Amino acid sequence: MAYTLLGKDFTPPDIRAKVTGEAKYAEDFRVDGMVFARLLTSPMPHARVRSIDASEALAMHGVIGILTADDVPAKASPQQTILTNEPVFVGDPILAVAAESETIAQDAIDKIKIDFELLPFCVDPLESLYPGGPNARTEGNSVTLNFGQPIPPEVNEKKWTARDFAAVEEGHLPTGEPTVQWEYGDLDTGFEDAALVLEESFVVASNSHHSMEPRSALSYWENGKCHVFGSLQSQSFAMNTLSGLIGIPPEDIVFVAEFCGGGFGSKGNPYPSMVIPAHFSKKINRPVMLRISRAEEYYLGHARSGFQGRTKIGFREDGKVTSIDLYLVQENGSATGFPDINGFSEGASLVYTPEAMRLRGIFVSTNTPPRLAQRGPGQNQMAVTFEPLMDRAAKELSIDRLAIRQINAPTGDALVGAGREPVTSAHPREALAKGAEQFNWVERVKNDGQRNGSKVRSVAVATAFHPAGFNGFDGLVVITPDGKLNVHTGVGNLGTYSYASTSRVAAEVLKYDWENCVIHRGDSRKHLPFNIGQFGSNTSFTMTRTNFVAATDAMDKIKEIAAMDMGGDPEDYDIGEEKVFSISDPTQSMTYAEVAQRAIELGGKYSGIEGPEDINPITKGGLAGIAGTGLVGVAKDKLEKHGLVPAFCAGFIDIELDTETGKYEILDYLGVVDCGTVLHPQSLATQIKGGAVMGFGMAATEKLVYDPQSGLPANVGLYQAKPPSYLDVPSTMGWAAVDEPDPQNPVGAKGVGEPVMGGGAASLICAISNALDGHYFMRNPITPDMIVNAAAGRPQSYKPLQVNNQ
């Protein structure tokens, strides 16, 4: 379908502020009387606070107050606390001090005497599962997340038997009693029929999000309302969580999140440290700024879950996967965590379409940062684990590496996971085919293995997947008498510009000139509808739907007003050039400005005085704010959607690896995506390339490291934790899109922010393995020492299944 606005580049309205420095992130706001808070965080991985003596600190000139766990709402274990007397990770906040200056606050923190009792701790899930092994929390070591359910998470003690550990072959994962499991199909028959069965144990490292903006926050109270300035990927979606964390109704909270300096899943929903200033400000009656340092960001800024796992995969002669048996031990950190096991296992069931599959898994707590979603949570760990296995199978079965992916790739009739859920559309085969052509796969493969001294050329391909859309949220637009289309959007601003590209759907429906449209966002006072946040690759699918239904509602009302004023029925009218006109006599018309004025006079549903019953209370609040200002379009997204919305990326890579140094250069990278209709080509390009950059870090440099003796973290600076720099990635990369519309989205759009990382990560891992003539490490990141050892045939420095401490 030809669109006027969609699929075209445009200048997003917030970008100017980003290049002038006017963009205000949380730490850029200033309030009169603002004071600073500093945190006292746990120096131990797991401890009990026996006593706190803050007398000397509180006597210091300039110190205003102290906030302890007694001053904030308690959280039931295993939920992450705001402040705690039983810290469960190094860096867990115990208390905060506010002072006239941050220096004084820090000096006061240093005067506080705390008597800690060190408790048992654990930084390796398998150690915790061992009979008599340490529990990360006093209540236990395994969390039942109850994700997406109205019941809170629970933590229990789970231990495997000594027999479980003794029975396993050397180097393999023991498979004791799981806490989650599902199965479909006939697993055994699949393995019996297979021409090749691979069985491997593996490790996927945990790694930090490294958002460039630390999660600083500012709060103050005014006229009974709590103002929160925070760094978040969400706007309206945050209100209910904030309400719970602060302990006041959502309508008493003003939340400002105009810009978010990177989140990648770690700032999806309000997090405990964000509300420390809110509680502190209430206690001392002063605005409180809490700046989070880079080291603190590594402590409390969350991380991706790692895995110790084991899988058995059967392949037919032609490469088709028959059965997958998967066991996952998820390192779930110190709090509730995130169900990466689901993403991993469901991802495998879709990307390789096995006829039978079994998942068994267990979430194990460790005294390391609380885990949260990180870009492709589960799906991207799956990609870096399974894609090298596809290469190995291709090699053993003498099949082309592209072909084995093609034969296993899902189509639109694929089913996902144990529930055999359908998908809305799936075009990974087209992405692979398009990429193969653009990358010149057939010719490039001929260079594979070419040697230049100690350097080896290697090309590789990998696929990745993530769900990419939700439904059921609200849209809100208003045409004001100045003729402008005001799109109110309650989604966050993560930096993908999709808040803007999805708002353009409203303009497209109403045939608006984009110059006459205004987006309202970033501040709960701006009368915003209830929308989900910018995570889970969902915005492009979810928000095109909300803006479509709101604009459609506006169009219906425009035509009704035209019929009222000019005669006939609404169906006798059409729109164009920001007018509504009679189809039979186009000279009979009203401008949108005139219609907006009439809507105000008519009132009722036309000006938003009345609204639909089924919209969210937050949307009703937003509607009440704009009611009477123009012609209002407001609706809940009740469009058809059945099944999972999948997005895919095929990553193609060409590297030159030096087997003597373990270093490599990425010569070329191409990412090809299936994201439905392309809304904003330029932004899609930066997502594909930027996602790949993040993937290269996951593949080759980033991991958490802990001292197993003390539980102390080693990676608390960027130079230690190693996100990729300019010099680690190609200076130019390629991109393409299948551009096949999704039938369950009114404009055919799907998201794609997460698979683009998996495509980069998995393709690099495959390329390194391929350069070493098929040495599959079954572990990430693959660091230069691992490469050198593998190339020289020397043993590796790590033990099988060892995590977090090498």
Partner 1 sequence: MNEGNSMTDLTTMMVSEAMVSKQTSVCGLAPPNMSRREFIKGVIASGAVASAGVFMLAGCSDNSSSGNVAVPATGNFERMITLNINGRDRVVDVLPNETLAMTLRYKLGLTGTKLGCDRGECGACTININDVQQYSCSTLTHTARGRAITTVEGLQGVNGELHTIQQAFIDELGPQCGFCTPGQIMSTVSLLKSNPDPTREEARMALSGNLCRCGAYDHYLNSVMRAAGEV
Within 275-304, the residues that bind partner 1 by CB under 8 A are 291, 293-294
Stretch that binds partner 1, among 168-176, 181-189, 580-588, 688-696 (CB under 8 A): 688-696
23 is a site residue for partner 1 (CB under 8 A): yes
Which residue, 694 or 738, is less far from partner 1 as judged by CB?
694
759 is a site residue for partner 1 (CB under 8 A): no
Q: Is the preceding peptide bond at 723 cis, omega within 30 degrees of 0? A: no
* Sequence-ordered list of residues with C-beta below 8 angstroms from that of 482, at least 6 positions apart, any chain: 593
Q: Which of 13, 62, 625, 784 binds partner 1 (CB under 8 A)?
A: 62
Q: Output DSSP code: residue 796.
A: P
713 is a site residue for partner 1 (CB under 8 A): no
What letter represents residue 574's amino acid?
D
Stretch that binds partner 1, among 74-82, 470-478, 523-531, 726-734 (CB under 8 A): 726-734
Helix 539-566 × helix 592-602 angle, to 10°: 80
Q: Output DSSP code: residue 526.
A: G
107 is a site residue for partner 1 (CB under 8 A): yes
Q: Are 302 and 268 in contact (CB under 8 A)?
A: no
Backbone angle region of 301, left / alpha / beta, with phi > 0 → left and psi within -120 to 50 → alpha: alpha
In this structure, what are the phi and psi dihedrals at residue 613, rounded to the nearest 5 degrees?
-75, -30
Here's the x/- map for partner 1, 248-267, by CB under 8 A: it reads as -----------xxxxxx---
Which residue, 592 or 669, is less far from partner 1 as judged by CB?
669
Q: Are 783 and 701 in contact (CB under 8 A)?
A: yes
729 is a site residue for partner 1 (CB under 8 A): yes
55 is a site residue for partner 1 (CB under 8 A): no
Q: Is the preceding peptide bond at 781 cis, omega within 30 degrees of 0? A: yes
Which residue shows structure tokens 């059409």?
A: 574
> Segment 349-408, which members bind partner 1 (CB under 8 A)?
none
Q: Which of 55, 103, 447, 450 binds partner 1 (CB under 8 A)?
A: 103
22 is a site residue for partner 1 (CB under 8 A): yes
> Segment 782-801, which members bind partner 1 (CB under 8 A)?
none
The least distance separating partner 1 from the CB of residue 295, rounded to whole angstroms, comes to: 9
> Segment 553-592, which members bind partner 1 (CB under 8 A)?
none
* Sequence-ordered list of residues with C-beta below 8 angstroms from that of 638, at least 6 positions apart, any chain: 472, 549, 614
Which residue, 265 or 630, is less far from partner 1 as judged by CB?
265
> Segment 181-200, which members bind partner 1 (CB under 8 A)?
none
What stretch of H or E contains 242? helix 238-246
24 is a site residue for partner 1 (CB under 8 A): yes
Classified as helix, coil or strand, 780 is: strand
The least distance separating partner 1 from the CB of residue 536, rounded to whole angstroms, comes to: 17
Stretch that binds partner 1, among 96-104, 142-150, 455-463, 652-660 (CB under 8 A): 96-104
The least distance separating partner 1 from the CB of residue 293, rounded to whole angstroms, comes to: 7
Stretch that binds partner 1, among 17-25, 74-82, 591-599, 611-619 (CB under 8 A): 17-25
The least distance separating partner 1 from the CB of residue 476, rounded to whole angstroms, comes to: 25
Which residue, 77 or 281, is less far from partner 1 as judged by CB?
281
Which residue, 233 or 308, is less far from partner 1 as judged by CB?
233
335 is a site residue for partner 1 (CB under 8 A): no
d(CA 303, CA 717): 14
d(CA 274, CA 246): 10
Q: Which of 287, 314, 469, 724 binds partner 1 (CB under 8 A)?
A: 724
The least distance separating partner 1 from the CB of residue 277, rounded to whole angstroms, comes to: 15
683 is a site residue for partner 1 (CB under 8 A): yes
The least distance separating partner 1 from the CB of residue 679, rounded to whole angstroms, comes to: 13
Stretch that binds partner 1, among 203-211, 378-386, 387-395, 604-612 (CB under 8 A): 203-211
Question: Where do runs of H (alpha helix) occur along 535-616?
Answer: 539-566, 592-602
Burial class (CB in 10 A: 0-12, 13-18, 19+), 717: exposed
Q: Which of 66, 67, 72, 105 binds partner 1 (CB under 8 A)?
A: 105
671 is a site residue for partner 1 (CB under 8 A): no
Classified as helix, coil or strand, 391 is: helix
Q: Are 257 and 234 in contact (CB under 8 A)?
A: yes
210 is a site residue for partner 1 (CB under 8 A): yes
d(CA 560, CA 570): 5
25 is a site residue for partner 1 (CB under 8 A): yes
Number of residues that bind partner 1 (CB under 8 A): 73
Question: Smallest Cα–Cα separation from 136: which of 706, 735, 774, 727?
Answer: 706
32 is a site residue for partner 1 (CB under 8 A): no
19 is a site residue for partner 1 (CB under 8 A): yes
Which residue, 410 or 492, is less far from partner 1 as judged by CB?
492
Structural tokens at position 84:
């705690």
Question: Smallest Cα–Cα separation from 754: which of 647, 645, 644, 643?
Answer: 647
663 is a site residue for partner 1 (CB under 8 A): no
d(CA 106, CA 644): 49
Structural tokens at position 556:
């219906």
d(CA 71, CA 278): 11
43 is a site residue for partner 1 (CB under 8 A): no
Which residue shows structure tokens 């969350």?
A: 302
Q: Are 124 and 801 in contact (CB under 8 A)?
A: no
The secondary structure of 734-767, three-state, reads EEEECCCCCCCCCCCECCCCCHHHHHHHHHHHHH
The least distance separating partner 1 from the CB of residue 551, rounded to whole angstroms, comes to: 25
38 is a site residue for partner 1 (CB under 8 A): yes
* Sequence-ordered list of residues with C-beta below 8 angstroms from that of 359, at least 6 positions apart, any chain: 180, 181, 182, 183, 326, 327, 328, 341, 345, 418
The least distance separating partner 1 from the CB of residue 596, rounded to whole angstroms, comes to: 31
33 is a site residue for partner 1 (CB under 8 A): no
Which residue, 100 or 556, is less far from partner 1 as judged by CB?
100
Q: Which of 633, 730, 758, 781 binds partner 1 (CB under 8 A)?
A: 730
Q: Which of 124, 213, 340, 553 binds partner 1 (CB under 8 A)?
A: 213
> Segment 477-536, which members bind partner 1 (CB under 8 A)?
494-497
Classified as helix, coil or strand, 701 is: coil
The least distance separating partner 1 from the CB of residue 177, rounded to whole angstroms, comes to: 39
Q: Which of 377, 522, 608, 723 binds partner 1 (CB under 8 A)?
A: 723
- Half-sphere exposure at residue 52, Cβ-oriented, CA atoms within 13 angstroms: 23
Number of C-beta neighbours around residue 544 at 10 A: 33
693 is a site residue for partner 1 (CB under 8 A): yes
The least distance separating partner 1 from the CB of residue 26, rounded to whole angstroms, comes to: 11
* Sequence-ordered list of residues with C-beta below 8 angstroms from that of 318, at least 6 positions apart, any chain: 397, 399, 407
Structural tokens at position 767:
């390329």
Which residue, 337 or 724, is less far from partner 1 as judged by CB?
724
Q: Which of 74, 118, 212, 442 binds partner 1 (CB under 8 A)?
A: 212
Angle at 250 between CA 301 and CA 376, to 5 degrees: 35
Which residue, 25 or 202, is less far from partner 1 as judged by CB?
25
Here's the x/- map for partner 1, 446-465, by CB under 8 A: it reads as --------------------
Q: Are 307 and 394 in contact (CB under 8 A)?
A: no
